[in-house]
Amino acid sequence: MGLLIRGGEIVTAETRTHGDILIEGETIREIGPGLTAPVGTEVIDATGMLIFPGFIDPHVHIHLPFMATFAKDTHATASKAGLIGGTTTFIEMVCPSRNEDALEGYHTWKQKAEGNSACDYAFHMTVSRYDEKTESQLREIVADGTASFKIFLSYKNFFGVTDEEMFQTLKLAASLGVITTAHCENAELVGQLQQQLLVEGKIGSEWHEPSRPEGVEAEGTTRFATFLEQTGATGYVVHLSCAPALRAAIEAKLRGVKLYVESVLPHFLLNKTYAEQAGVEGMKYVMSPPLRHERNQPVLWHALQAGIIDTVGTDHCPFDTEQKLLGTKAFTQIPNGIPGLEDRVNLMYTYGVKRGGLDIHRFVDALSTKAAKIFGLYPRKGAIDVGSDADLVIYDPEYRGRISAKTQHTNNDYNGFEGVEIEGRPWVVTVRGKVQVRDGVFVGDPGRGQMLKRKPQYVRQTEEVRVMVHAD
Ligand SMILES: [Zn+2]
């Protein structure tokens, strides 16, 4: 049985048109005005609705052992929450720690997801150490369709890599044509500043930001870019949070370094005063990089509009109140992270497009199309085109509501955006042609999601090729 979506306004990264969309099987068959429905086709009247390509969250954590505990979501809960919020594909960080075997970790993450996700998904593979086994393991993982790496310059002795290991990882990534994503903070400085603050008796969540100031992130960004430049690898800065780090990234882009920039939902809308609240209220807002001084927010919004920030993810990582309280005696023990997967699209639409003047095409681009292009999913994902997967978000721009932990689907007992108004929400969401969300409610197949296999797409031109092109 097919699906005909009639009368909506189709909004992509480039165009805005009225038209019908005919879906046959898992893909889009035809787009145009006045399409007729073959017998047995379900017709959805989308008059007054916007139709977006399914949104892609390029940075989430679902299965995550971290700081002596686990993030709260499962693939079942996170994927439903994502779909209700309009996200039809997420890319999850596989994060084995330094003392775990990388390949075993990869299979653990794959098994957790398989058959348990309602939306499609892919992985970034964290390289948390580099030893004699690493190259062959990473080659195997890339051959399995996971064509992006992740490195942490922070979290020394846990996920973090040394400069030597970063160099080896990027050399291999360059030769494989794989993109490397990076958490850019200087681990040594963070460690020293944390110890100094604790010795001074500064143990509350308000000291988290001072322990990893803006300059520490700018240094990490600069160093990552320099290593990309010297290895010829392509990179992607995750969750860039502040103006000094953004300047470092722009400097690198201007030098021709192949570098993309992601910022995440919390940094556009929240500032460090949230983490300065007393007790557990402040702890709920501890994440890394930390929430910043509010002067950074207009800079992030302008850079997003200008396309200097390429993508908007979430770094979705829910820990509940009880887990946050592990850090009562020292801010360094507070599990880092905040949920966001369910709310990214509605909040960026409301505070970007509706109230902030963000161009609606840039919104679609940053939350879907650009991520698909950077990570090798385009045009299967991130597009409304004939032949693309029928992942569609039929969006009701007239909806009015408020975010609340009481009504959310993410498995957590709080929401960092509690009480915040939203103007618009997904009304119907499809995953490869199947209606998974109707009238804002999950109605679909909880195991529909598939792992998306991706190919390396940053394979370097050889010297010979360059000479030939030049001779032309
Ligand atoms: Zn992350």
At 195-210, the pLDDT tens digits run 999 999 999 999 999 9
Overall average pLDDT of the 127-151 stretch: 97
CA of 291 to the centre of ligand 1 (A): 14
Give the pLDDT band (50/70/90) at residue 111.
very high
How many whole angstroms separate alpha carbon 189 and alpha carbon 457? 34
Tokens, residue 194: 């944390």
Tokens, residue 384: 């409304």
Residues contacting 170, CB < 8 A, separation 6+: 180, 227, 228, 231, 233, 235
Tokens, residue 168: 């080896």
Overall average pLDDT of the 40-51 stretch: 97
pLDDT score, position 462: 56
How many whole angstroms separate alpha carbon 170 and alpha carbon 404? 42
Residues contacting 248, CB < 8 A, separation 6+: 218, 219, 221, 222, 225
CA of 470 to the centre of ligand 1 (A): 41
Residue 25 has pLDDT above 80, yes or no: yes
How many whole angstroms separate alpha carbon 6 and alpha carbon 45? 5
Residue 464 has pLDDT above 70, yes or no: no
CA of 61 to the centre of ligand 1 (A): 6
CA of 183 to the centre of ligand 1 (A): 8
pLDDT score, position 461: 63
CA of 148 to the centre of ligand 1 (A): 14
How many whole angstroms separate alpha carbon 61 and alpha carbon 128? 16
Residues contacting 217, CB < 8 A, separation 6+: 184, 185, 240, 241, 242, 244, 245, 289
Q: Which amino acid is at 45?
A: D
CA of 241 to the centre of ligand 1 (A): 13
pLDDT score, position 69: 85
Ion ligand 1: residues, CB within 5 A, are 315
Give the pLDDT band (50/70/90) at residue 460.
confident
pLDDT score, position 158: 84
Strand, coil or helix: what is 93? strand
Overall average pLDDT of the 162-166 stretch: 96
How many whole angstroms separate alpha carbon 452 and alpha carbon 114? 11
CA of 360 to the centre of ligand 1 (A): 26
pLDDT score, position 57: 98
CA of 304 to the centre of ligand 1 (A): 19
Quote the pTM value.
0.96
CA of 96 to the centre of ligand 1 (A): 13
pLDDT tens, position by position, 81-101? 999 999 999 999 999 988 999
CA of 206 to the centre of ligand 1 (A): 21
Q: Is 108 exposed, middle or buried (0-12, 13-18, 19+ CB in 10 A)?
A: middle
Overall average pLDDT of the 115-129 stretch: 97
CA of 59 to the centre of ligand 1 (A): 6
CA of 461 to the centre of ligand 1 (A): 31
Overall average pLDDT of the 106-120 stretch: 97
CA of 336 to the centre of ligand 1 (A): 9
pLDDT score, position 65: 85
CA of 93 to the centre of ligand 1 (A): 7
- DSSP state, residue 156: T
CA distances from 330 to 122, 277, 342 (A): 35, 15, 30
Q: Which amino acid is at 192?
A: Q
pLDDT score, position 459: 87
CA of 92 to the centre of ligand 1 (A): 9
pLDDT score, position 203: 98
Which residue's structure tokens are 């040594």? 188
Give the pLDDT band (50/70/90) at residue 278.
very high
Beta-sheet strands, E only, within 168-304: 179-183, 234-237, 259-264
pLDDT score, position 468: 54
Which residue's structure tokens are 């992601």? 262
CA of 158 to the centre of ligand 1 (A): 14
Torsion from C-alpha of 184, 125, 363, 295, nearest 10 degrees: -20
Average predicted confidence (pLDDT) for the chain: 96
pLDDT score, position 262: 98
How many whole angstroms separate alpha carbon 139 and alpha carbon 61? 23
CA of 287 to the centre of ligand 1 (A): 9
Nearest Cα to Cα of residue 394 among 428, 361, 422, 438: 428
CA of 315 to the centre of ligand 1 (A): 5
CA of 52 to the centre of ligand 1 (A): 26
CA of 389 to the centre of ligand 1 (A): 27
Give the pLDDT band (50/70/90) at residue 1.
confident
